[in-house]
Structure 1
Amino acid sequence: MTAETTVESIGALSKPQLGIAPTHEITYVVEKIKSAKLPVILLGMRASTNEVTKAVRELIADTELPVVETYQAAGAISRELEDHFFGRVGLFRNQPGDILLEEADLVISIGYDPIEYDPKFWNKLGDRTIIHLDDHQADIDHDYQPERELIGDIALTVNSIAEKLPKLVLNAKSEAVLERLRAKLSEQAEVPNRASEGVTHPLQVIRTLRSLISDDTTVTCDIGSHSIWMARCFRSYEPRRLLFSNGMQTLGVALPWAIAATLVEPGKKVVSVSGDGGFLFSSMELETAVRLNAPVVHLVWRDGTYDMVAFQQMMKYGRTSATEFGDVDLVKYAESFGAIGLRVNTPDELEGVLREALEAEGPVIIDIPIDYRDNIKLSEKLLPNQLN
């Protein structure tokens, strides 16, 4: 175990070079989009590479096709294209993007993997006409049966479609659907105007944080109620800068991810977000962050419960079980590791505390007592066929 070795480590390997999808398939898809009443693009995680993001943005700019992102595709749509962005979809089927997928007569999935958001939620009846554009063959099941698969280099294929496809012209009914969903998307991002009693609403945290960081700041999210708020309402404008753990939904992932991000981009500030339950899953990694002097600002949305579990228990059983835990002084906890600990005692303190943390050296933990009164709304108003 301690012997020296002269074997060189394996260097970075180049990825396989794929060709463009077949020309006749591209022509078919172009004609299919032109004849559709409301075609919609669903962007998945493999649409979030720099090359594919560039191609997708050019396609949207030229054609004005409406777009929905999965959580993993966050940041693929730029600020300049926000008018064509209809939010992100995942977990609970009650978002403007879900409604748009329901209204669409053609869904073009680009770089989409079913583990991001199972087709049984957004295509329960299996009646959507789907075009699958990816560098992987489709994972076929009852709810995901593409009419065509365009397999090859995603960026090259998207570019070829863009060259052949004119600007989208929708009928009045489809335009009305888009206008209604734009209004709904804007409405759900509004911070409620009500007495807070010392706790801060998730939307206020999201709005304030978004205003204080650059578009190229990496933000890592743990799993919990906070991640649903972040996925739905935190706008991201560069790919792979807003990170979520779908599939396994790993509690405690945010802080280790953030530390890793500082190693990839040394000296660059990274923000991570968790609930208090998720934070305690991996909070011992504060030792690593302090030892590396990692420039991580970690926001803990504290409510003393495993809230995402709790509100789903309330939905199903009308009561909770084993979702509460004891109070932890997160400021003292951070300081015991040698990190900086800050607390937001009232909503009015939020911006000042965030600014102080972002300007500080080394790791910072921010304790934010959170107003989770609206969390039950995260899963209500389901579209009718989700649970059928």
Structure 2
Amino acid sequence: MSGDVRVSALVGQTLAKLGVGHVFGVVGSGNFDVTNTLVQEGVPYTAARHEGGAATMADAYGRMSGKVGVVTTHQGCGLTNAITGVGEAAKSRTPMIVLTADTQGAAVRSNFKIDQDGLARSVGAVAERIHSPESAVADTVRAYRTAVNERRTVVLSLPLDVQSASAPDNVGAVELQEPARLRPDPAMVKQLVQLIQKAERPVFVAGRGGRGARDAILELAEHAGALVATSAVANGLFNGASFNLGISGGFSSPLTAELISRADLIVGWGCTLNMWTMRHGRLISPDANVVQVDVEDASLGANRKISLGVLGDSALTAEDALSELRSVQPIPQEKFRTEENALAIKQESRWRDVETPDLSTTSLIDPRVLSRELDSILPAERIVSVDSGNFMGYPSQYLSVPDEFGFCFTQAFQAVGLGLYTAIGAAIAQPTRLPVLGAGDGGFLMGISELETAVRLRLPLVCIIYNDDAYGAEVHHFAEMDNSPDLGSVTFPETDIAAIARGFGAQGVAVRKVEDLEPVKDWVAEFQAGTQTRPLVIDAKIASDGGSWWLAEAFQGH
């Protein structure tokens, strides 16, 4: 290639050659050219209604596709609009590029001027920028390598004066070697195997870092006599496996929590064993040994005292441990894999299998009854996304998912209102699955502008709104306080969300009893026939459960 091109075009061409998967954004004058270049280079683009929505769509897309998502914003206010979604992605270590314009170096009085690098770092993202026309390709490649190789969210700033300058059209072929998988130190593997041999009740808990290691972890667990579980973000990883406890932590069923708390060895595979996954440590018995396996040294022991930290890839560590264990213990051990536990797990490991009283009234439906019914009505090949709030355990535990790519949980920042954005990004990443959103009324109304995006994209998206006309978590939390506060600040007049949804062009259904779900069955029939292209918003007026079981975990230490 020869000739000169604008730096903005050069950056777009480079990212396209590097293989970014999808771009989400809101286009302004500062990011118009680079966004158009990406589209011209064949990278799909989704126009969002708000940069905050675009950022979380890109985050969810990256989690569920395995490709790098890009969010593109205008300088200054465009980036600040996106920053909550950027923070969520950064805290979750999602490989993502935030492609944002920036003011000219000399524009010190510009109303758009902010410290973009400082803002990025403040939420845990990596700040990079295009420094000059001559360094544009190298700067872009460095940002992409950091995102992929270090699993980081990178904010790449393009100053207006630099991006409008000319540079040699010299992108050429851009090839990146995948980082080598980290093999653990054999001495650490021996120590891990010694702890496994010593244990009588081992439990393996896999997190997002356990993806790609499913078979290796399960094979080791079978030989070691260990039960298996996941953190919430890895929900579905061990589906179909024997002795699978499901989610460990605040969403655990009573049986799952009881079995994990009895463990004398807990091994976290790509899982930081944080306060959510371990219920602030209450799922760890005082005499239990705790092991972490992770590719990041800083994660080892970051949340709690551990007996052993193994620096290594989860799959390679499990494979090496199995080889070592077989050499010293040729025959698999039963240990925690008893017939009694197998039967109990089959019957009681999920909340939908636990009997609960029906709290429904003549005008309100019990959210557990609602969730059980919808789990039966909706197709099994689904991808479930969950907003934050009092309701969140219902879709997380009652709606089954096919595998770890069927559950998208953007909760590292605990931000209310990301659910709809998450569902759209996840739907684009997994287009063959039915996208399902679980949200509260507060969070859904907070991000409702993106319902137009779902309608415009003709997404057959099911939005289950657990509507209690309140910020329910706060209602239950504050109601328990001794001074009996006025809850008017967190409760609202009844809102007809179904009618609002119809105004956006979606189908809206109000549900107060099981019989009201008949239109949902009709919608599903049309979806299965391939003729349904409108989102469905289920405005479920839910009865109070007096504070969901996970709320006690959520407010611990607050």
Using structure 2 for the length normalisation, give the TM-score: 0.60
User: How has the CA–CA distance of structure 1 residues 15 and 72 changed in structure 2, closer, same or farther, with 3 Å as cutoff?
Assistant: farther
Q: Deviations over 1:200-234 (max 9, x none)?
A: 22222322332344554111001112212333443
Q: Which moved more, 1:13-22 or 1:321-330?
A: 13-22
Matched, 1:111 2:257: no
Q: Name the residue aligned to 2:499.
A: 332
User: How has the CA–CA distance of structure 1 residues 143 and 88 changed in structure 2, closer, same or farther, with 3 Å as cutoff?
Assistant: same
User: How has the CA–CA distance of structure 1 residues 327 and 148 changed in structure 2, closer, same or farther, with 3 Å as cutoff?
Assistant: same
**Hey, what's the Cα distance between the residues in 2 that align with 1:115 and 1:134?**
14
**Hey, what's the Cα distance between the residues in 2 that align with 1:268 and 1:239?**
13
Q: Name the residue aligned to 2:185.
A: 22
Structure whose CA Rg is larger:
2
Matched, 1:362 2:534: yes
Q: Which moved more, 1:324-333 or 1:153-162?
A: 153-162
RMSD over aligned CA atoms reads 3.3
Alignment of 1:33-44 (within 5 A): 33-44=196-207
Q: Which moved more, 1:185-194 or 1:251-260?
A: 185-194
Q: Name the residue aligned to 2:460.
A: 295
Using structure 1 for the length normalisation, give the TM-score: 0.83
Q: Name the residue aligned to 1:147.
A: 307
Alignment of 1:205-216 (within 5 A): 205-216=370-381
- Tell me the secondary structure at the aligned position of residue 447 of structure 2: helix
User: How has the CA–CA distance of structure 1 residues 99 and 15 changed in structure 2, closer, same or farther, with 3 Å as cutoff?
Assistant: farther
Instruction: Select the residue among 60, 70, 80 that pairs with 2:231.
Output: 70
Alignment of 1:203-282 (within 5 A): 203-266=368-431, 268-282=433-447
Q: Name the residue aligned to 2:155.
A: none
CA contact (8 A) 2:275 2:303 kept: no
User: How has the CA–CA distance of structure 1 residues 262 and 326 changed in structure 2, closer, same or farther, with 3 Å as cutoff?
Assistant: same
Q: Name the residue aligned to 1:190.
A: 355
CA contact (8 A) 2:383 2:401 kept: no
User: How has the CA–CA distance of structure 1 residues 52 and 309 changed in structure 2, closer, same or farther, with 3 Å as cutoff?
Assistant: same
CA contact (8 A) 1:116 1:247 kept: no
**Hey, what's the Cα distance between the residues in 1 that align with 2:344 and 2:379?**
30
Q: Which moved more, 1:292-301 or 1:358-367?
A: 358-367
Alignment of 1:309-388 (within 5 A): 309-317=474-482, 318-319=484-485, 321=487, 322-350=489-517, 352-358=518-524, 359=527, 360-375=532-547, 377-379=549-551
Q: Name the residue aligned to 1:99.
A: 258
CA contact (8 A) 2:274 2:280 kept: no
User: How has the CA–CA distance of structure 1 residues 54 and 354 changed in structure 2, closer, same or farther, with 3 Å as cutoff?
Assistant: farther
**Hey, what's the Cα distance between the residues in 1 that align with 2:213 and 2:181?**
13
Residue type at the aligned position of 2:198: S
Deviation for aligned residue 1:85: 2.3
- Tell me the secondary structure at the aligned position of residue 316 of structure 1: coil
User: How has the CA–CA distance of structure 1 residues 93 and 77 changed in structure 2, closer, same or farther, with 3 Å as cutoff?
Assistant: closer
**Hey, what's the Cα distance between the residues in 1 that align with 2:196 and 2:8?**
61
Q: Deviations over 1:299-335 (max 9, x none)?
A: 1111111111111222334555322012211122011
CA contact (8 A) 1:98 1:122 kept: no
- Tell me the secondary structure at the aligned position of residue 422 of structure 2: helix
**Hey, what's the Cα distance between the residues in 1 that align with 2:385 and 2:244?**
22
Q: Deviations over 1:343-377 (max 9, x none)?
A: 22421232x33323332322221111112235355
Q: Name the residue aligned to 1:9.
A: 14
RCO comparison, higher one (Cα < 8 Å, 6+): 1
Alignment of 1:115-126 (within 5 A): 115=274, 117=276, 121-122=280-281
User: How has the CA–CA distance of structure 1 residues 298 and 119 changed in structure 2, closer, same or farther, with 3 Å as cutoff?
Assistant: closer
Q: Name the residue aligned to 1:79.
A: 240
- Tell me the secondary structure at the aligned position of residue 470 of structure 2: coil
Q: Which moved more, 1:275-284 or 1:111-120?
A: 111-120
**Hey, what's the Cα distance between the residues in 1 that align with 2:540 and 2:177?**
43
**Hey, what's the Cα distance between the residues in 1 that align with 2:394 and 2:206?**
19
Q: Deviations over 1:214-263 (max 9, x none)?
A: 55411100111221233344333401311223331121111111111232
User: How has the CA–CA distance of structure 1 residues 14 and 190 changed in structure 2, closer, same or farther, with 3 Å as cutoff?
Assistant: farther
**Hey, what's the Cα distance between the residues in 2 that align with 1:118 and 1:185?**
16
Deviation for aligned residue 1:125: 8.3
User: How has the CA–CA distance of structure 1 residues 315 and 95 changed in structure 2, closer, same or farther, with 3 Å as cutoff?
Assistant: farther
**Hey, what's the Cα distance between the residues in 2 that align with 1:198 and 1:60?**
48
Residue type at the aligned position of 2:216: A
User: How has the CA–CA distance of structure 1 residues 157 and 216 changed in structure 2, closer, same or farther, with 3 Å as cutoff?
Assistant: farther
User: How has the CA–CA distance of structure 1 residues 40 and 4 changed in structure 2, closer, same or farther, with 3 Å as cutoff?
Assistant: closer
Deviation for aligned residue 1:129: 1.3
- Tell me the secondary structure at the aligned position of residue 273 of structure 1: strand
User: How has the CA–CA distance of structure 1 residues 316 and 357 changed in structure 2, closer, same or farther, with 3 Å as cutoff?
Assistant: farther
User: How has the CA–CA distance of structure 1 residues 346 and 299 changed in structure 2, closer, same or farther, with 3 Å as cutoff?
Assistant: same
Q: Kindly, what percent of the aligned residue pairs are identical? A: 22
Instruction: Select the residue among 227, 248, 262 that pairs with 1:89.
Output: 248
Q: Which moved more, 1:69-78 or 1:203-212?
A: 203-212
**Hey, what's the Cα distance between the residues in 1 that align with 2:464 and 2:251?**
24
CA contact (8 A) 1:93 1:121 kept: no
Q: How many residues align?
A: 376
Q: Name the residue aligned to 1:53.
A: 214
